[in-house]
Structure 1
Amino acid sequence: MARLAGKIALIIGGGADGPANTGEKLSIGNGRATAIMCAREGAAVMVADRSLELAQQTANAIREEGGRAEAVAADVSIEDQCRGAVEATIKAFGALHLLVNNVGIGIGGSLLKTTTEQFDTMLAVNLRSHFLTMRYAVPEIAKAGGGAIVNVSSLAALRSNRMISYEATKAALLGLGRSAAVSHARDNIRVNTILPGLINSSMVRRLIGDREARVAPGIPMHRQGTPWEIAKAIVFLLSDDASYITGTELIVDGGLAAR
């Protein structure tokens, strides 16, 4: 039986903006892979993205496979649009059980090379948006009888990459998730955080290009991860296979942190 059968999932950041990988007809990032995997596991999926076009591409891919999906535009730096994504899910599917916060950007640099405006933007997108979507989603998930939330952080929460606002916001997500997990365990809502390492995603290819040859030798498994591997880990945390796991952080990095 599909692990998410009968569940309704909201995937924030479910589009993908960047070149497709070799052999893929559709550009795949962590959010798009997660939305597609959730649908393959039986969930009805609301795909939210700042770009409605990119969200619709994901929803169309799900429907082409026979799944249920809708799309909504959401700029998560705006509170009303965070609330609107939750409301759109309820309107389309009648309930909400699962939430994935996949939105994240990287701007600025080290301490003295990051402006106040850049830092504030990072806070709004990488941290405040997760707080807001959870605040609006949690009452609905509780009303539906419980469910699960996964926030997507980064290995940069634990290891420096010389981008202070990125590291600070990704580290803050760990505390955000733990606090929400403890507060809402009584509502039968589990909250966990996933920390991807170096992933060959569409966003990375758009911003950096092909880095496989450069970074693979430093990873114990000698390759970057794929968005599908991140999606599978997220689906596990959303599913009843993880029914006694909450308030924790799952590192998916090919052994990079251990090294």
Structure 2
Amino acid sequence: MYQGYLIDLDGTMYNGETVIDGAKVFIDRLNEHNIPYLFLTNNATKSQEEATEKLLKMGFDVSKERMYTSSMATAEYLKTHHSGESAYVVGTDSLKTLIEKAGLHVTEGRAEVVVMGLDTDVTYNKLKEASLLVAGGASFIATNLDKKFPTEYGFVPGNGSLVQVVMETTNKKPVIIGKPEHHILEAALKRMKLDKENVAMIGDNYDTDIMTGINGGIDTIHVNTGVTPLEDILKKDVKPNHAVNNLAEWSVLS
């Protein structure tokens, strides 16, 4: 039995506005048995409160303290490594607010740091400005490199698709904060106050969720409800420790 869980949101708890079968039951079981968990999401478009509110409206029994987003991890990274610097941000207002609270000055012009999170109002000019700044020597930070994510309508472009434009234009690679990199995992484990051998990472996306566990040395549970289908999982050289169709199949007590 694992002492705690790190749980993905998009494709694991819900697809767009549709709750995935078994998701609520699983969270209810964790709550019932007082098993620690943290939602670990690459979604940088919402604040901690906004991401939690979405789950509450869907009927999940959760609190904001259970939520840890790539935007929160990005803000912590920036506070440590770039406090006091100017930042050009391609992303939502909530991401910009977190970055300002981390001690950076968000600007629309020249900047020492370029930060990219998913921006559903992205324009050519925003990508152009980000590219020119990065090419000119600005530090390059990406909340995540998810190329796509599931919605109730199908897959849509993720932040990685936008970041790729700047990468191709500048031949520069960003520091990646979110899954599957170590920054967000280490910060989440620190918050949970658990050793990694006692925690499992749950998710639908092999390249982000499962690779987070593989890269970080924690066990993984793949759910066949989102980005990576089971048939693709079975072809991987390094497979997740466990695979289920949905979380109703997973017992938290065994």
Q: What interval of TM-score do these two structures reach, taking the shorter chain for normalisation?
A: 0.3 to 0.5
Higher fraction of strand: 2
Higher fraction of helix: 1
- TM-score, normalised to structure 2, is 0.40
